[in-house]
Structure 1
Amino acid sequence: MTLLDERTHEAPLSAVTDLFDRVRAQTLALAAPLSPEDMGLQSMEDASPPKWHMAHTTWFFEEFILKPSLPGYQPRDDRFAVLFNSYYVQAGPRHTRSRRGLLSRPSATDVLDYRSHVEDALREGVARNAFSLEQDKLEELITLGCHHEMQHQELLVTDLLHAFSFNPLLPAYVEPKPAPVSAVETAEWVSYDGGLLEIGHDGTAFAYDCEGPRHKVWLEPYRLADRPVTNGEWIAFMEDGGYSTQTLWLMEGWAVREKNGWDSPLYWWQQDGQWWTYTLQGPRPVDLAAPVVHVSYYEAEAFARWAGCRLPTEAEWEAAAEPTPIEGNFLESGAFQPVGRRPGLWGDVWQWTSSAFSPYPGFRPPEGAIGEYNGKFMVNQMVLRGGSCATPKEQLRSSYRTFFYPHQRWQMLGLRLAGDQ
């Protein structure tokens, strides 16, 4: 029994260490079905091997908490600082991103040992009140590290799906579950008055820097569909020439579509006249009633134009979601694919908005390497809202902004339609 276990009821940071324990355990649970060979897979530069995600999230706690503020801390291996830094220039040199899959050493077992080393040091340091940081700053950094790891849990899942999709065996990561059979229900419209509203994080509890400052926006009256676009609706778009009608597409989107030969969402194929898709439950017939997933911003924007609608702005989405309970299909369900059957703003798929990922009025990144977390990515990317079947529910709040480049499809990306009143 560790010192922390003996003093949990006395530890001033017990709530945040409970969060730390839950998050670290969830990552191990996600890795449990993987073989040592699976742990090293990297299918493209945008993706990373599972063991790299597990090591990088550990490096984050070591680099930003243990090394600078725990007297006497000894790293497990000084070389890991180079191997597992991602993009933090101020934290030092980094191994080339596209070559993470070549890191056969350290082994998966070594990475697990590294995780235990850092976890033990952090827990013991908290229990002994040994950190040089003020308690509120220490709590803030541990909380940030936990939310950072939750982001990488989602990436671990979606990167693994992409890597497995190249295997002709189309392996299942989790035991397949019976696919429900549901009728496709017509979407209903929900109207919103608009007006002068506030969006952005309200300053209480945790949020990333890019979610604030809270600020005023003017919204004209608008409406949102009560559910995301479904696979059945997407097939109708395809059958009506959606992928071959250039006038539906942004010029850059059309060029990307032509270059890549897109004619359906990622992971789709036809077999005996039926559409199939690859999921982490293995190959499945496309469920017409489930939300469409793995579509780029360009495809989503073309679909919205074909449907006579548009994508919502992130302010419209947030204003609608702020009073809405966070309920839906998230990572914790273990489905790892969209299964939505009811109206709602949350879960199943991230929803593309028409808003560029840019700073809110008054935004200032934090000092030091931590300030590189979001600010330097605020160009050429689009905002998505709502969380997905691979997102930990604890990550989400109405102000949460994720962002991807408009051509990317390997994440759990879908869309919801919007319109003017």
Structure 2
Amino acid sequence: MALTTNTSVTDRANASATSSTRPARRCLRYRHVRATTLQLCEPLEVEDYVVQSMPDASPAKWHLAHTSWFFEQFLLKPMLSGYQAYHEDFEYLFNSYYQSVGPMHQRPRRGLLSRPTVQEIMRYRMHVDRHIESLLDAHADDDQLAALLELGVNHEQQHQELLLTDIKHLFSCNPLLPAYRSAALRGTATKSAAPTGDSALPSMARPMTFIAFDGGVQAIGAPSRHGRPDERFCFDNEQPRHRLLVAPFALADRLVTSGEYLDFIRDGGYRRATLWLSDGWQTVTRHGWNRPLYWSESLDAEFTLAGLQDLDNDTPVSHLSYYEADAFARWAGARLPTEAEWELAAAGLPVQGNLLEAGTLHPRPARAHCRDRSELQQLFGDTWEWTASPYVAYPGYRSASGALGEYNGKFMCNQWVLRGGSCATPAEHIRASYRNFFYPDTRWQFAGLRLACNA
């Protein structure tokens, strides 16, 4: 049986939050996000919590502990009078990369932590939750606490997505190819159990069109929050808002599909060095890549959180590295958009799409028909979209002082920006200014691409 988790906490929060005051809403939000993490773990067996499939991934148990460590380290210890840490060794075991806090257990060895047990980690989470609520009761109107709480909640939402992508990678390494959740692909096209021939299902995706945008001096980045804790949250790397010169450009109205990527493969895309950046070609040849991560050798199936499924040509291609996305764009006679172009196209649009709450946990096809042909689809959800922009600081950026200054700023080197969220991103977590970032050879995230060109 799967480990029993306390998922009724949201119901209790709804019952107890009789006031519409800001402190009550903060407590309700905290409880909801913490409960969501446990709900994502419900399909797991206890053995699934411990294993680490590669150095970049973490065991589910570690995610549960680290997110609790974050609240304990940055809220409870400095702000709750008389607080006693749950376990003195947890500061070492579940610190991720905060050098200012102290030494940490090596990331590639997290899967060796059979102890503390999963049950002990669940008790740790309950301990932290109980004391966070005491802290909120004692400092209901503390704006600094509200800001730190919101950072911690958004941090946990990031780990909800990582938990799912790490589980997917873990299960893909098992010869049994187990399903995380058999109903995970709810809402996707029905596929036959046994495809015939050497091709995937015939493509029914509507033709791709390009939507033109004006250039000029434009502003990107999240607006300043002016110290008001109930304004829309953003991470420090989304600021400061600044102006830059953008040439006229055009974006594809939808994401690149698996069927289109299949054409790239069959046209020798992985064998043509002229399509690849130098580092990309070295990576492809060194690792022997010849298809996206999770695709079968026969190119007619892919591993999903619902287990092995027939490849659907109409779904957006995902689990690509930056190198693969860039090579496909060159093959298609286009390019990747810059992050400024992407944000300008998405600015002001509602955050809606195939996100975590949709429950599919897999990209979905663009609509076959829409009322307005100029509508950009799939901007939010389905897959993260690689951009042509390196992850660097915006002009005037300054990281925060202390350990929390290590959250984003120290990673602004040798990584690339992705935009838009994925099918595993919580809807309330994403926004037009959100900057995700990974190394260019990263493939285990739900990452795909949208084409761009000069207008």
What TM-score does the superposition give when structure 2 sets the normalisation length?
0.89
SS at match of 1:218: strand
SS at match of 1:90: coil
SS at match of 2:325: helix
- Is the CA contact 1:4–1:123 (under 8 Å) kept in the aligned structure 2? no
1:37 is matched with which residue: 43, 47, 55? 47
Please state if 1:336 is matched with 2:361: yes
Q: Which residue of 2 aligns with 1:282?
A: 307
1:374-406, Cα deviation, whole Å (9 max, x unpaired): 000000000000000111111111100000000
Contiguous gaps of at least 5 residues in structure 1: none
Moved more, 280-289 or 327-336: 327-336
Please state if 1:175 is matched with 2:175: no
2:418 is matched with which residue: 384, 394, 413? 384
Please state if 1:157 is matched with 2:164: yes
Distance in 1, matches of 2:61 and 2:449, equals 31
Distance in 2, matches of 1:91 and 1:175, equals 41
- Indicate how the Cα distance of structure 1 residues 385 and 12 shifts in structure 2: closer, same or farther if over 3 A, else same: closer
- Indicate how the Cα distance of structure 1 residues 367 and 4 shifts in structure 2: closer, same or farther if over 3 A, else same: farther
2:388 is matched with which residue: 349, 354, 364? 354
Distance in 2, matches of 1:89 and 1:137, equals 23
SS at match of 2:445: coil
- Is the CA contact 1:224–1:418 (under 8 Å) kept in the aligned structure 2? yes
Please state if 1:189 is matched with 2:210: yes
- Is the CA contact 1:11–1:127 (under 8 Å) kept in the aligned structure 2? no
Moved more, 196-205 or 152-161: 196-205
Q: 1:87-236 maps to which residues of 2 (within 5 A)?
A: 87-129=97-139, 135-176=142-183, 177=185, 179-180=188-189, 183-204=204-225, 205-236=232-263
Q: Letter of the aligned partner of 1:316 in structure 2?
A: E
Distance in 2, matches of 1:411 and 1:304, equals 19
- Is the CA contact 1:11–1:126 (under 8 Å) kept in the aligned structure 2? no
Q: Letter of the aligned partner of 1:49 in structure 2?
A: P
Contiguous gaps of at least 5 residues in structure 2: 1-8, 191-202, 226-231, 368-376
Q: 1:238-317 maps to which residues of 2 (within 5 A)?
A: 238-271=265-298, 275-317=300-342
- Indicate how the Cα distance of structure 1 residues 81 and 11 shifts in structure 2: closer, same or farther if over 3 A, else same: farther
Q: How many equivalent pairs are there?
A: 416
Distance in 1, matches of 2:17 and 2:302, equals 50
- Indicate how the Cα distance of structure 1 residues 314 and 10 shifts in structure 2: closer, same or farther if over 3 A, else same: closer
- Is the CA contact 2:399–2:409 (under 8 Å) kept in the aligned structure 1? yes
- Is the CA contact 2:13–2:31 (under 8 Å) kept in the aligned structure 1? no
Distance in 1, matches of 2:359 and 2:157, equals 15
Structure 1 residue 219, shift from structure 2 partner: 0.8
SS at match of 1:13: helix
Please state if 1:395 is matched with 2:429: yes
Q: Letter of the aligned partner of 2:438 in structure 1?
A: F
Distance in 2, matches of 1:189 and 1:238, equals 23
- Indicate how the Cα distance of structure 1 residues 395 and 372 shifts in structure 2: closer, same or farther if over 3 A, else same: same
Distance in 2, matches of 1:301 and 1:147, equals 30
Structure 1 residue 9, shift from structure 2 partner: 2.3
1:269-303, Cα deviation, whole Å (9 max, x unpaired): 144xx511000000001110000001100000000
1:14-35, Cα deviation, whole Å (9 max, x unpaired): 2221111110010000011111
Moved more, 9-18 or 138-147: 9-18
Distance in 2, matches of 1:367 and 1:252, equals 35
Q: Letter of the aligned partner of 1:414 in structure 2?
A: G
SS at match of 1:89: coil
Structure 1 residue 128, shift from structure 2 partner: 3.1
Structure 1 residue 7, shift from structure 2 partner: 7.2
1:324 is matched with which residue: 336, 339, 349? 349
Q: Which residue of 2 aligns with 1:408?
A: 442
SS at match of 2:270: coil
Q: 1:10-21 maps to which residues of 2 (within 5 A)?
A: 12-21=22-31
- Is the CA contact 1:67–1:73 (under 8 Å) kept in the aligned structure 2? yes
Q: List 4+ stretches of structure 1 deviating above 2 A.
A: 1-12, 176-179, 340-344
Structure 1 residue 331, shift from structure 2 partner: 1.1
What TM-score does the superposition give when structure 1 sets the normalisation length?
0.96
- Indicate how the Cα distance of structure 1 residues 8 and 80 shifts in structure 2: closer, same or farther if over 3 A, else same: farther
- Is the CA contact 1:3–1:124 (under 8 Å) kept in the aligned structure 2? no
Over the matched positions of the two proteins, sequence identity in percent amounts to: 51
Q: Which residue of 1 aligns with 2:5?
A: none
1:284-325, Cα deviation, whole Å (9 max, x unpaired): 011100000011000000000000000000000000001211
Please state if 1:57 is matched with 2:64: no
Structure 1 residue 129, shift from structure 2 partner: 3.1
Distance in 1, matches of 2:13 and 2:80, equals 16
Q: Letter of the aligned partner of 1:282 in structure 2?
A: G
- Is the CA contact 1:4–1:126 (under 8 Å) kept in the aligned structure 2? no
